[in-house]
Structure 1
């Protein structure tokens, strides 16, 4: 019986030795590594780690974008009983230092020169730190081991071969596999301790819903240190005999899609929104006749999706319209994007807007939305592929209990729940109660069919000065359905009215300014957002997208910010969620001006 990640991988190697496990773009073309070849690399690197003196339970940090070396490093670490402390590649050096110090990691594995520069910048303060580089460091870099040197150390130590086998066979289900740092939307990141059994249970439960097949390809885009990326883009396909192909970068995503033509892909909602916006924007440049045909096809698809969602039979004529729409319109779009083989997108990490989910459903690109957290390894619920419900995150996985507390907080209990927060017993006791229920901090509700709907974060709930309560997330989600609004932060806690900070999609605003021939320097964000026509546009978008609010929920004032949110300025987490506290602090003058 499979109980550890090492056992899970070894079983796949035995079943699928010659199938491709990993694919990466090198010298202009994708090349593959078979399961047997990956196993040899995992063994070689694991032997090198042993020769370096890395012991069972040692914490080893991994600072890298998604690539084969990440997957091989992780598997080598879990085989020798070490703990992978996974760090986001887009965090600054200060956060790298915080995570290394907090986790007590004595070894740091980095990918390229960008990550190596961060490591070198903090080594003076962490003198015990051993650095291993996936790529050869620049000439003159002192005391940095390369992967090749680690491999040679293992080869020069014959005893490490037998010890490698002894180690992975001795790993226990309850042993730590990883520490994953939360994205820090409400405070300092906390190290979530996840065991082998946490991950293995989630993989087994997830396989019943996310049915990956041997030899089929997943295109990996979400960072593997992200818990959802680790599950969907790493452990799940590698336990199924599937192939993981790595995206080169966001800018190369469309090209890589066409080259790989994947069967599966995990994307965060913002990227799915960008896909939708791109398709719709492309249609505006087509002929009037093409636009009419497209909107007819989209209407046919949406009608069928509504019938499916309401569990009604689709009339034969309506079904034929959808079939015709797919043949005449949607297949051409999918072929152009490289999505002709796609069985489903999986979406997680943040709420997916209903309009985006409906759009992809209408054009016959299934989006399976799920819900989970780092603390639940990660998956808790998922929309079954044949019974999707837009605006929900689906049904609980088998073996996982989910209930709604009296204050509407979502509680989770099951074998997937973390062991706790590293070095934070008080924080652990605060979120896992005496009955084993994990308090997620999310507010939600079940519908009549048992589908879970996420309303907001508990800490985000706005309490107006008159005592009325407003959940900001649904309002923010609806606002970002506008092509002109990239992010929105709704404000009003302990105030008398609701206001909003709007962060535009500057590309769309610039295109509009050129189209309308506005007398404005479109390259200057500040002058662009202060133009009266842009202000009127934003007011129109608020009224259009939020027409049905209670009087106390209505946005009375708004401020358009002439700056983009980013990881670099601290307003977005590495997973591109808005850091509400940082946004309110950074733009406090704009907030106060709205209430003056």
Structure 2
């Protein structure tokens, strides 16, 4: 009996009895032995993790999360049964919204799965998806899993070389691309991808003719040759403890790592983390969300795609140029009930409002300042149970703040989430002033996204919230303040890194706890605060441990002209800092330009400078601006807990950070190692 037949045999038996024990010895012997080479010394580790795509793992089921494991297909069938005739996906074609119901969505996924099988997708091989969010992205992702493959997102910003690494590492049989621009990347590397059998382009006409290159319409028609029974045999062979998704890390400290996620990782997290965030099932309220963040990142994928299926959410797709300024247009049109952004997205919204305010009249400025201060105070100290809500905040909200939220597209938004990177206190406070509470979530690709959640019922300022019910945390190597490395246990925890046994062993301890590499502490009520990352922790020549984020945030809070601040000083005698200034961006490339933003120009005027560009300030070492920045640094230093945590030197870089410049990752999180390499001469000049 070959591997495929073994899977079918067990799948049929499990479907008939409905009582298959995923963690039983029979399961190990029936599934794990054909897939894995298990030695007696490695048996314990192999049951909790694996590094091969056709491996299976022991699920972390215990009394805290006893829910029956299900596959992605099981979850979708339940969705169709409950929400089949509700709209699931909406996208604009020629200026008009086109809608797909959950029943249609499911059938399209089956049709794409058949097409993948026709093209020769092998069990446990990958389909790479390269492009901006769209119904075709979702259908490809789900169809891949139905067909027994592994969905692998490839960042749309990747170079051809980066695309090659991912596609080759995951053994991609098929790659689905958005348009000719993305196709060109694959054409450059096609001959170096031995497993690649076909490419599908889902938007635009084909500008290249090849027998193994298909339009979306041609691709979907290929599925007509595959029977329902053939597809169902593959679907029924799938188990919740097998891999169905690969998420590649950003690769800031070496090659990207392929994070293997199981069906259970996806289905359990989609159900339980979303409910911890107060997302509602459609029978209570159909949630409405806008999809725009990169789906290659687990935060967007679990929030947009998998939670959408689990609870019957209505997903609208933003335009591909969403992050260039059109996102707000989509939000205003859609009026979502929930919205998620990475910190940089929230910061950009904040900067836009500040710029608009700076250009308004004195009366408007004063009214907004008053309304925001009232709202901030109320949100920081909300009324206790039984207390009446203050009158002034209600007046401020009705006449002023609600109009700004409407302008942003948040009139009906009940939950605003921030994740994927730390968010500054300044940003949190600003949105509190608009009567918008940002609910932080915390996790990793390795925890299928959110392991810790905030919500309207679980919130504390500058806290990530509490562990999702069923998830556990512990802290190791704690210091005197209670800060220690955060470790995870639960059904969110991933299967292992693809083909990287050493890296996998590094992150799991002997008891199977996942070590995050992040530092944090928990209060008496269970709220988590993340205070730094071990690899980013600065250890001075004097041996003092300094988490950089808190100091960097303080600098940006005191200096509104500063866009990015990067603390330097590992193994050095003192701390120094790289600064970038807020500048406008090219809307086509998102490359930072030389021209200062209105907020930055206002800062210059207030400190006595007439500068309007970055080059003026840096090239001429503008005395007024440099003096003001030093004064801001001095204020930060005055609150330092020790001399070692004072910033002794700093410099302004000639250009702001960007994805295209290599300093930011796809979710706009700073890449510290890349920055240190790129600006090594500036760093050396400090010392």
Gaps in structure 1 of 5+ consecutive residues: none
**1:543-585 CA distance string (max 9 Å, x none):** 4455411321111111100122222332222222211111111
- Match in the other structure for 2:420: 349
Structure 1 range deviating more: 428-437 or 559-568? 559-568
Deviation at 1:163, TM superposition (A): 1.7
- Match in the other structure for 1:575: 667
For 1:455-494, list aligned pairs within 5 A: 455-481=531-557, 482-494=559-571
For 1:262-301, list aligned pairs within 5 A: 262-301=336-375
2:633 corresponds to which of 542, 556, 565: 542
For 1:205-244, list aligned pairs within 5 A: 205-210=272-277, 211-214=279-282, 215-244=286-315
**1:496-554 CA distance string (max 9 Å, x none):** 11000012212383534487395657274775683233322322333445541132111
1:504 corresponds to which of 581, 594, 610: 581
C-alpha distance in 1, partners of 2:207/2:457? 56
- Match in the other structure for 1:183: 250
Deviation at 1:366, TM superposition (A): 2.8
Q: Give the conservation status (yes or no) of the 8 Å contact 2:120–2:173.
A: no
- Match in the other structure for 1:587: 679
C-alpha distance in 2, partners of 1:546/1:523? 25
- Match in the other structure for 1:382: 453
Q: Give the conservation status (yes or no) of the 8 Å contact 2:596–2:612.
A: no
Q: Give the conservation status (yes or no) of the 8 Å contact 2:269–2:492.
A: yes
Q: Give the conservation status (yes or no) of the 8 Å contact 1:222–1:229.
A: yes
The reply to whether residue 139 of structure 1 matches residue 231 of structure 2 is no
Structure 2 CA distance for partners of 1:154 and 1:219, relative to 1, 3 Å = same
Q: Give the conservation status (yes or no) of the 8 Å contact 2:273–2:451.
A: no
Q: Give the conservation status (yes or no) of the 8 Å contact 2:260–2:496.
A: yes
Structure 2 CA distance for partners of 1:13 and 1:472, relative to 1, 3 Å = same
Deviation at 1:160, TM superposition (A): 2.7
SS at match of 1:184: coil
Gaps in structure 2 of 5+ consecutive residues: 1-67, 479-483, 585-594
The reply to whether residue 323 of structure 1 matches residue 415 of structure 2 is no
Q: Give the conservation status (yes or no) of the 8 Å contact 2:618–2:652.
A: no
SS at match of 2:273: helix
Structure 2 CA distance for partners of 1:178 and 1:519, relative to 1, 3 Å = same
The reply to whether residue 257 of structure 1 matches residue 349 of structure 2 is no
C-alpha distance in 2, partners of 1:470/1:150? 54
Deviation at 1:165, TM superposition (A): 2.5
C-alpha distance in 2, partners of 1:563/1:397? 40
C-alpha distance in 2, partners of 1:261/1:363? 17
The reply to whether residue 339 of structure 1 matches residue 413 of structure 2 is no
- Match in the other structure for 1:148: 217
- Match in the other structure for 2:50: none
TM-score by length of 1: 0.94
C-alpha distance in 2, partners of 1:519/1:199? 54
Q: Give the conservation status (yes or no) of the 8 Å contact 1:526–1:562.
A: no
Structure 2 CA distance for partners of 1:291 and 1:567, relative to 1, 3 Å = closer
TM-score by length of 2: 0.82
Structure 1 range deviating more: 140-149 or 349-358? 140-149
Deviation at 1:479, TM superposition (A): 2.9
- Number of aligned residues: 590
